[in-house]
Structure 1
Amino acid sequence: MGDHLDLLLGVVLMSSPVLGFSPCSSNGLIAVYYFCNLTEVPQVPNTTERLLLSFNYIKSITATSFPFLEQLLLLEIGAQFTPLTIDQEAFRNLPNLRILDLGKTQIDFLHLDAFQGLPRLFELRLFSCGLSDAVLKNGYFRNLESLSRLDLSFNHIHSLALHPSFRELNSLESVDFFLNQIPIVCEPELQPLQGKRLSLLRLASTTLYSRVSVDWERCMNPFRNMVLDTLDVSGNGWTVDIMRNFSNAITGSQIFSLVLTHHIMGPGFGFQNIKDPDQNTFAGLARSSVRRLDLSSGFIFSLSYRLFEALEELKLLSVAQNKINKIADEAFYGLNNLQVLNMSFNLLGELYNSNFYGLPNVAYIDLQKNHIGVIQENTFRSLGKLSTLDLRDNALKTINFISSISTIYLGGNKLVTLPNIPLTANFIQLSENKLENLNNLYFLLQVPHLQILILNQNRLSFCAQPPVPSENLSLEQLYLGENMLQLAWETGSCWDVFKGLSRLQVLYLHNNYLSFLPPGVFSYLIALKTLSLNSNRLTVLSLGDLPPNLEILDVSRNQLLAPDPHVFAPLSVVDITHNKFICECELSTFIKWLNQTNVTIIGSPDDIYCLYPNWLLGTPLYSLSTEDCDEEESLKSLKFSLFILFTVTLTLFLMTVFVVTKFRGSCFLCYKTAERLLLKDQTQTREPDTYRYDAYLCFSSKDFEWVQNALLKHLDTQYSNRNRFNLCFEERDFMPGEDLIANIHTAVWNSRKIICLVSRHFLQDGWCLEAFSCARSRSLADLNSTLIMVVVGSLSQYQLMKHASVRGFVQKQQYLRWPEDLQDVDWFLSKLSRHILKKEKKKEQDTSIPLQTVASIS
């Protein structure tokens, strides 16, 4: 099928202006006439080697259609838009033609001697030409002594009764009958091919043996005395019985590769009406020297006992894309020479120690895209020559079963951590897992002889304990893209993760949210040549940030504003596209370097553009001029003097602001001390009122310890004689045994102020919210600011607005926030005290007489 793409590929390539071809023309060696509305073969130079005439309206080819083209090797004349007639010796003027392509053309008439005069023809493409059995029966291919490949796919051939002239085709190696309708092939029909060796005989999707009842005693062995490197009988709907009868019929025929994909053997998942293959299914192939068997894309549910016992020479077995859920004991018994086993895309859930018994020489096992969640510890340890194990896209949570395997694919599983087991691999792929702890990376870097480590698309973000850096002298490539190294590095940990990797040559750190590079993090990587930092958040790169011998750097899609060109000067290749360049005079040095450097800049010039100012948004840096920036140099001295004067003035101002801001807590204490000294003669007595408590403190019981330390010890009189407020709170002042709502109501109406300490626990406590509603009701009734709301912790406006009672207060009144800085606490307590002491205007007594009363008096 790959050769059938030549026409489409030719259209794309030949129409490309890059190759220098204009349509419907020749350059002396190649003549391209696609879609030129030709009705006959054009005149071309006699030096032409390739003549491409597809997609035209040529109706006939005769012996005089072509001039004498001695050097022509390839002729494409397929895909004509009209039916084609090919006359006697139509190609006789092309004595050295090697490839003749007539595919995708409806051939209305084909003379029996149409292909005569082509002694060197190597490949003949007749796919999808509407040909019938006659093309095989009537000797159309006589005297084609060099013919090696014959493509007759997509035609209307119903019988393979070959003309005796096929015996003369001693160079014939490949015959393709794909997608014809050939219900049966028996020994007499293919007798002209006996004694030959074919690299490919393709009988796929021909309904072979699946829609007729075959008398194998009369049909006999269709491949007798033939050697087939590859026999493709895929897509014919073969059941277990058809396969068993076929294998018994061809006993003794040498078939090194048997392709039987898209079969219907096996019941699939949840059905029992079709049998799985058993020990007898392939028994007839015992003497056929089958070395490759492809049973993929079927419905096999269970691999039964000694299923492949007869295939002693088998080296490659594929049962991929079936429905395999069970592997019987000794299912692979007898496959002593098997080297590659492909069981991907099945329904395996567990693997047991006995599953792969009988595979002493297997080197590669592909188990990707199953549902494997559990593997017994010794499942693979008896496979002494197993070097590659592919377990991608399963559901594994541990790797205790891994032994001395050199290449391990474990991507797309559910690994959260790695056990401390000895590994000897030189290639480990662990991408798309759930590894978070960077200690797992430190552990993997200790694996001896490890050369390539892939950890992309994990969650590496922290170090649980300070690990010991590795001394790995073998690792050459490390892929850590799409993790979260920023979270680890911003805590100051894991900065030595690359220490000891003296032979590392390739490092990928893309998509790690990096906003900075730890000092010296790459200084150990003396052999590093390629570094990818793309799609991060880097705003600056300094000279010491990069490895000493780096050659290729990718910092595209970062946030570099005005990079230093000296950083990139030692490199050979750099990608700086899609950064956020600020196109002001500070960037002029970089722009000059960009236009003069010998460093290879990857990407289109249009991808290196300004982001700011807005009037230059999207403008390529290459198109900017720096002349205006040079004029500013003369003003630098004046600007510097003004800068010094301004700096001194600003420094004095900022020092004052700094002292007040930085030590505002101490300043406030000094202010209060002075206030007490100056006003010591004034009485500190307070006017009596009718309230029992100064304030009711409403908070969640889960916050009691914090409230006690932060508020009660500094405000409540019972905690200290220096305090001035008589506070009410649930743990001390509520009447035990009394209804909680009644207690809340009493506290609210017997306190001058109600202070609600709104925290996360407060919002989750229904009683607290009930108390808040009661306090708000009183505040509304008194028409004053009785309710004081203090937000504690990092609660957002959105979180507050989710609660109806709180939302009503927040929308109409101001609230306080507990300070995050400890030095602001004294100031806040003083402010809160003033709120508690603040006298509210009393409501004027209503002296009006209700209308109802007036009526009764009258």
Structure 2
Amino acid sequence: MASYRKQILISVTIVASIFQFGMSYSFRNCIERPGSYHRNFTCIKRLEQTINAIVGDIPASATTLTISDCTLVNIPPQSFSHLPELRTLLLTNNHMRYIQEDGFANLRYLRTLNLSSNYIVSLNSYMFHDLQNLSKLILADNRLKNISSDSFSSLSKLQFLDLRKNELMNFSAVVHSISNLKELKSLDISSNKLVTLYHSDRLPQSLSCLYLGNNMLTTLECRNDSLSSVKVLDLSFNTRLSNQAFFGLNLSNLTYLRLRSTNISIVTLLNQTKGMMTWYIDFSGLGLTEPQMVASLCKQLSYYPNKYIKRILLQKNKLKGLNNNTLSDCPRITNVLDLSFNELKSTNCLQFLEGQKYLAKLIVEHNHFTRLINCKNHTRFFHLKELSYRYNRILEVSPFAFSHAPKLTTLKLNINIIAYLDHKALNGLKDLVILRLDNNLLTDLYNDSFKDLHSLQTLNLRNNQISVIFNNTFYFLRNLSILDLGGNKIAHLMPLAFEGLDSLKNLYLDRNRLGKIDGQLIGSLHRTLQVLDLQGNFIRYKTDYARSPFVNLTKLTDLKLDGQRPYGITLLPHAFFRGLTSLKSLYLTNNRISSLSSDTFDDLKNLTFLTLDDSCVGVAQLKPGIFKNLQKLEILTVENMGIGSFSKEVFGNLTGLKKLNLNKNTMQTLDVDLLENLTNLQYLDVRGTPLSCNCPNSELQNWTKNERVQIVYLYNLTCPDVKGSYFYNFDNHVCSDFGVYWFASTYVVTLVLTLLPLLYVKLYWKFKYGYYVFRSWFGEQWRRLREEEERCTYDAFISYNSADEAWVMEQLLPNLEGSGFRLCLHHRDFEPGRNIVDNIVAAVYNSRKTVCVVSQNFLRSEWCSLEIQLASYRLFDEMQDVLLLVFLEYIHERQLSAYHRMRKVMLKKTYIQWPGVDCTDPNKARELFWKQLKRALRSSNSKSQDEEQVDENDQNEQQQDDQAQMDDEPYYLMP
């Protein structure tokens, strides 16, 4: 039994010495992104007036920092100098007006700086001088009027510069400021007040993208080769810009030109700029209102040597129609034709694409189509893969409406007013993969509506007027993986509604009118279904006993049941989630569950995310053991649940929990022991919870000052019972137990003083007799201990660090073993093959004394620390005088503060200092050292009180004699 206790003691000592870490932390004005390991921080809508007040407590490891929607006015010097690892800094939507010198000092690794949506008026050279590695700078939506010539001189690695939505008027000054940026690729000066592009300096050769839209340009006024390296040029919404601006310009490298809403005649421009690569021109908003204008454009394009063009954009030209031969003269269009935002009323089965049979994608969104006609006997376009009719006014889709495009893979008919989809409207689309019919007025689906769509994988029917899903509606969709029926009026699902959906993974039935979950119907999808969305329906149960509708859905990973109407799920039947063994995410927010039984979540052993926000009636009490099987749960949100207690019986098994939201509940205290047992917890939100600022929470307050769990906005948590005070610093000094101890002590003393006279009179002789009996018994015990001591194998076990082995072998060993002492040394006397901890225990307990040779190396040794703690256990707990401390070198008391056991020994016992070479007489001092050490080794481990007093007097006399001999050298230090 004694050996077992020793093993436990050693194990506890090792664990305590190794696992020393804090428990929680918080930031005054920022939130760390959970799981970012002190790297990603967000500070939004804070009322502090200075940068330092907001980010002063952010750790130096931060790499991403967002400060947004605050009232900051300026950036003082050294604002972020304590964050040298920052890579991304977002300072958006504040009231920033000034950036002082060294405002971004020490941010040498910063890559992205966003200062958009502020009130910055000017830029100076000192603002960015320490940002040598900055590659992206965003200054959009400010009030910039002037940019000094050296504003960006230190940003040698800048690649993207955004100056949109400012008040810049001088393009030459902008060019001058960026002329030395050898790596600049993109410059955006859109939405400023530029009138001309005149500039004296050259644009950087690396600049490939130049955005100048929405200015007041009337002319470019730049040299012929000024834009020769530019590949992407945006001049849109400069309404006064005319063709004359391009006379003589070299645009040979241009790959994309945007001229929307300008005063330019594109046909004339094409004549002027023969070297331009025209297949990347955006022809949107150029006033091509008639088919003849488009035809003229095509004819002009046909004169160029290239026989194909990847895309043509003809948006916002107010086109009302296209003839069959409108595009016939165009070079072959291989990728995209975009006719969106026009006034087209009919596509006439795409006959205007005559001669463009290689087109892959046609976009005709935001037009005025009202009907898609039958196209069965029209020209077929076998290369057309994607067709989009979104944002039109289509009311009816006729049979064989897409027979002219039999190879379609993507068809978008969403955001129309389609009320009638003919049985054969989608006939022939055997290669279709994605079909969008959402946001229409469909009321009925037929069992042959999707008959030919054998390759369909995604079908979106969200936000229509469908009320019933009939049998075999999706029978032919064997490859369908995503079916979205959300936002309809579905109140009834026929028994074979989902028949044939052999590959379905995601089923969305949210915001319908389902009154119950048909377990047999949903269960027919058990082989493949992974996501089931049922939120916002009318699901309710009136009895606690109902068979689980999910019992067969063993592959389901995501289930949403939140927000059932009109009052939510008020009762969850017994074992409601039985069978969901693979479920990872469960949503139950916005319900009014009156009670959750202790076995509600028993089957959800793989659950990682659970939200129960706003799902209670009145004050909820979670049942003990309700989360007992959720060891893999990582995120739990129980906001506004009315939870009154945070107990181990409820939350104790959530050992995998990383994020816990307890805000807006009624708890007045949190169990600190339970929080410490949640060893993976990283994020705790208790905002809006009335934690009391009194003694029951004193331990919780201390727990919040350590470092492992982020407590969201801890410094904003107020005391509900003390107006104007805060939880983190409420006065807890009155919570100590000193008053209780003092009362108990004085009570006992008073009681004893009252009883002593009575006991003296009545029981004097009996006490005297008992005293002599006890003295006889104590003497017997002492003699027994002396006999045990004599049976020890060694006189002393020498504990030392290997770095001090030379002193032990050359000094200690000859002096002690030469005097007849039996010493135990680990390299010589430990049993080979035995566990090292067992050897240490045996050495300490088989030796009369343990001599610790203390040095700097000794303090750094884990094994030496174990040996001295074990010996001090015998000293303090077993009352055995076994420990001797020998200091080889001077060690300041400050260095021993972390070794509380050693300091406790020093306060209780004399310790010995090995004399150094700098003393007055080293030989005499060392002779005295060995004399004192041998005397200590010969002393008994256990003594009677009288003997201890005699020995103490003898020792004091001897020390006085020795002291006189040593010429006042302090080799023996008394506590």
| 1:107 maps onto 2:189 in alignment | no
Q: Distance in 2 between matches of 1:587 and 1:513?
A: 31
Q: Does 2:503 correspond to 1:419? A: no
What's the offset of the Cα at 1:591? 4.3
> Using a 3 Å threshold, how does the CA distance of structure 1 residues 204 and 346 change in structure 2: closer, same or farther?
same
Aligned length: 601
Counterpart check, 1:320 vs 2:390: yes
Q: 1:560 to 1:92 in 2, by over 3 A?
A: closer
Change (3 A) 1:217 1:131: closer
Matches within 5 A, 1:459-478: 459-462=538-541, 466-467=546-547, 470-478=551-559
Q: Say whether the 8 Å CA contact 2:597–2:623 is kept in structure 1.
A: no
- What secondary structure is seen at the aligned counterpart in 1 of 2:469? coil
- From 274, 282, 302, the equivalent of 1:192 is 274
Deviations 1:476-501 (A, max 9, x none): 111111127998774xx732221111
Alignment of structure 1 residues 658-807 onto 2, 5 Å: none
**What is aligned with 1:232?**
313
1:208 aligns with 2:288: yes
Task: Pick from 163, 168, 177 the counterpart of residue 252 of structure 2.
Answer: 168
Give, in angstroms, the shift of residue 238 of structure 1: 0.8
Give a deviation string over 1:513-536, Cα, whole Å, max 9, x none: 023212301011111111111112
Aligned 1:42-191 pairs, distance under 5 A: 45=129, 48=132, 71-75=157-161, 81=167, 83-84=169-170, 86=172, 90=176, 92-111=179-198, 114=200, 116=202, 118-132=204-218, 134-135=219-220, 140=223, 142=225, 144=227, 146-155=229-238, 156-159=240-243, 166=250, 168-169=252-253, 172-182=254-264, 184-185=266-267, 188-189=270-271
Tell me the SS of whatever aligns to 2:581: coil
Q: CA deviation at 1:399?
A: 2.1
Q: Identify the residue that residue 359 of structure 2 maps to in structure 1.
A: 290
Q: Do 2:396 and 2:421's aligned partners in 1 also have CA atoms closer than 8 Å?
A: no
TM-fit CA distance, 1:61: 8.5
Partner of 1:558: 641
Shift of 1:123: 1.4
Bigger shift: 544-553 or 144-153? 144-153
Cα displacement string for residues 732-762 of structure 1 (whole angstroms, at most 9, x for unaligned residues): xxxxxxxxxxxxxxxxxxxxxxxxxxxxxxx
Change in CA separation of 1:332 and 1:95 when aligned onto 2, cut-off 3 Å = same
2:620 is the alignment partner of 1:539: yes
Amino acid at match of 1:116: R
In the TM superposition, what is the alpha-carbon distance from 1:12 to its structure 2 partner?
Answer: 8.1
User: What's the offset of the Cα at 1:418?
Assistant: 2.0
User: Which position in structure 2 is the counterpart of 1:402?
Assistant: 474
The one-letter code sitting in structure 2 at the alignment partner of 1:206 is: L
Contact 1:456 1:481 in 2 (8 A): yes
Match of 2:430 among 360, 368, 374: 360
Q: What does residue 84 of structure 2 align with?
A: none
- Structure 2 residue runs of 5 or longer lacking an equivalent are 1-65, 81-88, 92-97, 669-690, 745-975
Distance 1:503 1:74 in 2: 46
> What amino acid sits opposite 1:293 in the alignment?
L
Residue 296 of structure 1: how far off its partner (Å)? 1.2
SS at match of 2:312: strand
Q: Distance in 2 between matches of 1:362 and 1:160?
A: 48
Shift of 1:503: 0.7
Deviations 1:299-329 (A, max 9, x none): 1011122298453222221101111112222
Letter in 2 for 1:298: N
The aligned residue for residue 302 of structure 1 is 371
For residues 354-379 of structure 1, give each alpha carbon's deviation from its aligned partner in whole angstroms, at most 9, with x where no partner exists.
01012111111111111110111111
Code of the aligned partner of 1:350: Y
More displaced 10-residue stretch of structure 1: 597-606 or 10-19: 10-19
State the partner residue of 2:328.
Answer: 248
State the SS of the aligned residue for 1:220: helix
Unaligned runs of 5+ in 1: 1-8, 267-275, 639-858
In structure 2, the CA distance between the partners of 1:148 and 1:557, relative to structure 1 (3 Å rule), is same
Amino acid at match of 2:592: Y
Structure 1 distance, partners of 2:337, 2:447, is 34
Between 1:527-536 and 1:176-185, the stretch displaced more is: 176-185
Relative to the length of structure 1, the TM-score reads: 0.61
Cross-structure match for 2:11: none
Which whole-Å CA distance do the structure 1 matches of 2:594 and 2:705 have between them? 29
**What residue is the counterpart of 2:415 in the other structure?**
345
Task: Identify the residue that residue 787 of structure 1 maps to in structure 2.
Answer: none
What CA distance in whole angstroms lies between the structure 1 residues aligned with 2:297 and 2:187? 38
Residue number in structure 1 paired with 2:941: none
**What's the offset of the Cα at 1:471?**
2.7
Q: Distance in 1 between matches of 2:602 and 2:531?
A: 20
2:151 & 2:636 partners in 1: Cα distance? Answer: 58
1:625 CA displacement? 6.4
- The structure, 1 or 2, with the larger RCO (C-alpha pairs under 8 Å, 6+ apart) is 2
SS in 1 for 2:465: coil
Letter in 1 for 2:435: I
2:517 paired with 1:438: yes
Match of 2:340 in 1: 261
**SS of 2:267 mapped into structure 1:** coil
TM-score when normalising by structure 2: 0.54
In 1: Cα distance, 2:188 partner to 2:568 partner: 61
For the residue of structure 1 that corresponds to 2:328, the secondary structure is helix
For the residues of structure 2 that align with 1:408 and 1:215, how far apart are their CA atoms?
41
Shift of 1:420: 1.9
Root-mean-square deviation (CA, aligned residues, Å) is 4.4
How far apart are 1:578 and its partner, in Å? 0.7
For 2:272 and 2:576, how far apart are their aligned partners in 1? 67
Q: Which amino acid aligns with 1:515?
A: S
Deviations 1:530-583 (A, max 9, x none): 111111226222441014322221111110122215644522221000112346
Residues 255-304 of structure 1, C-alpha deviation per residue, up to 9 Å, x if partnerless?
511222111112xxxxxxxxx221364333524x3222111112101112
* Paired residues of 1:408 and 1:429 also in contact (CA < 8 A): yes
